[in-house]
């Protein structure tokens, strides 16, 4: 399976800074190895700039960090899937831990966003992951099951997901903390996610990429990427600097 290396720029970068970073990535990734696909989840305000810089290279794409599940309407501050597509984005993140835990999104809203974005033609990366207290209470599997099932219970029959859907496992305690999950923890969680996906999708689950995110750096990226059931990386802090992200992509 092609490995997806994704950057999540979160709420960083002006348009000028984004243009500079995207140009450095496009230049550094002129020949992306065939087994890699590179995504940048940029702030809404920079998406057109990033999409433009990536336009000549089919191995690079950009996405929004969120979207609202409606075509248009009185939803102040929100951005629809159509607006993301209009800016040149082809992907959206849903359920990022910062949206769940800082902005209060629940499983039902994450499910609505995921399904609506897929229906409207975006590819979706669904983020899941447990908090430290949930892990310590032995609830890893139960949390991942709840987060995955809430989406699939609401998914319409026959929704095509091949090449359009990925899951990012990001343990909340490893995000932005410098505390990367150990290889055994990544292996355990990714195996749980694969089994849960098999339960809802059968054999098709083999083709769904599962990414790891949480304190990925150039020094630990290759080791994590080589683990069973790790089909990519979702990188926050270390993606802000183009050279550091290029090292993680492995070029």
Nearest C-alpha neighbor of 196 from the set 232, 234, 153? 153
Query: Is 206 in the active site?
Result: no
Active-site annotation holder among 96, 105, 130, 190: 96
Taking the complex as a whole, the smallest distance from the CB of residue 97 to ligand 13P amounts, in Å, to 6
Instruction: Give the residues lining the site for ligand 13P (CB under 6 A).
Output: 8, 96, 170, 175-176, 213-216, 234-238
Alpha-carbon distance of 156 to 154, in angstroms, equals 6
Helix axes 140-154 and 107-119, enclosed angle (nearest 10): 40
Nearer to ligand 13P, 52 or 90 (CB): 90
Nearer to ligand 13P, 44 or 204 (CB): 44
Taking the complex as a whole, the smallest distance from the CB of residue 236 to ligand 13P amounts, in Å, to 2
Active-site annotation holder among 98, 105, 130, 170: 170
Nearer to ligand 13P, 215 or 229 (CB): 215
Query: Is 170 in the active site?
Result: yes
Nearer to ligand 13P, 98 or 107 (CB): 98
Taking the complex as a whole, the smallest distance from the CB of residue 39 to ligand 13P amounts, in Å, to 11
> Which residue has the CB atom at the shortest distance from ligand 13P?
236
Catalytically annotated residues: 96, 170
């Amino acid at each position: 399976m092609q490995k997806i290396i994704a950057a999540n720029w979160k709420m960083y970068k002006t348009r000028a800074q984004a243009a500079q970073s995207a140009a450095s990535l496009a230049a550094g990734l002129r020949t992306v190895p065939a087994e890699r696909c590179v995504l940048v989840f940029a702030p809404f305000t920079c998406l057109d700039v990033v999409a433009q810089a990536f336009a000549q290279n089919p191995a690079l794409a950009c996405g929004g960090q969120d979207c609202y599940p409606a075509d248009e309407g009185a939803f102040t501050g929100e951005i629809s899937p159509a607006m993301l597509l209009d800016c040149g984005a082809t992907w959206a993140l849903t359920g990022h831990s910062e949206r769940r835990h800082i902005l209060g999104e629940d499983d039902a809203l994450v499910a609505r966003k995921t399904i609506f974005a897929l229906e409207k033609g975006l590819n979706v990366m669904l983020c899941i992951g447990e908090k430290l207290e949930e892990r310590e209470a032995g609830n890893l599997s139960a949390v991942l099951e709840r987060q995955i099932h809430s989406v699939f219970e609401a998914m319409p029959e026959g929704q095509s997901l091949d090449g359009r859907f990925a899951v990012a496992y990001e343990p909340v305690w490893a995000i932005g903390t410098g505390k990367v999950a150990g290889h055994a923890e990544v292996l355990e969680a990714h195996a749980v996610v694969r089994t849960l996906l098999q339960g809802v999708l059968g054999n098709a689950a083999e083709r769904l990429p599962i990414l790891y995110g949480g304190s990925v750096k150039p020094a630990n990226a290759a080791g994590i990427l080589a683990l069973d059931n790790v089909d990519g990386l979702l990188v926050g802090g270390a993606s802000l600097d183009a050279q550091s992200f290029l090292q993680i992509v492995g070029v």
